[in-house]
Amino acid sequence: MSNKTIEKTMVMKILDKQKITYIPHHYESDSLDAVTCSKMLGKEAHQVYKTLVTVGSDNNHYCFMIPANKELDLKKCAKVVGIKKIEMIPQKELEPLTGYVHGGCSPIGMKKRFLTFIEEESLKEETICYSAGRVGYQVETKPTDLINFMKIKTANLIKDCEE
């Protein structure tokens, strides 16, 4: 993983414009698995966040960010949003809806801004990594910088599991 001469993605350009400090990361991989991504970045899985897009029973789309090693609890998400049910969108709908492909979906720079939530555990981290809008590209920022800029809400979003 080399941080030299990384081609800037749209997400990085948006962060530059907002004067938000970030560390760009790039890795060569055809793997879209977030846990594998965290290993390639040399980060713990709880420091790398995946961006998941859902559709609610109200026909609105919602975006959720959770650690790479965790699973989204759709019941908790529906409750947080205040609707009956939420489900993941079909993968084939991701790019037309957001402009991003699976494995490269970022909360920043989607075609349309959706109500976005991030796992509240993110606030325990000094920095988190998330997609820079392209497979193999990540940005690392303070979670508070992302939350404040994108007006993201924090909530308990992950399935409770015994580890």
Neighbours of 41 (CB within 10 A): 18
Q: Is 162 a member of any domain?
A: no
Count how many domains the chain has.
Answer: 1
Q: How far apart are CA 77 and CA 60, in angstroms?
A: 13
**Averaged pLDDT, 149-156:** 97
Query: Domain of 130?
Result: 24-154
Q: Is 38 helix (H, G, I), strand (E, B) or coil?
A: helix
At 3 the pLDDT is 46
Q: Is 83 a member of any domain?
A: yes
Q: Is 12 a member of any domain?
A: no
Q: How far apart are CA 91 and CA 147, in angstroms?
A: 25
At 2 the pLDDT is 44
At 35 the pLDDT is 84
| Percent with pLDDT over 70 in the chain | 93
Q: Is 125 a member of any domain?
A: yes
Q: Is 142 a member of any domain?
A: yes
Q: Is 72 a member of any domain?
A: yes
Non-local (6+) Cβ contacts of 39 within 8 A are: none
At 161 the pLDDT is 67
* 106 pLDDT tier (thresholds 50, 70, 90): very high
* 65 pLDDT tier (thresholds 50, 70, 90): very high
**Averaged pLDDT, 43-61:** 96
Q: Is 107 helix (H, G, I), strand (E, B) or coil?
A: coil
> Residue 59's domain is classified under what CATH number?
3.90.960.10
Residues 106 and 133: beta-carbon distance below 8 Å: yes
Q: Is 42 a member of any domain?
A: yes
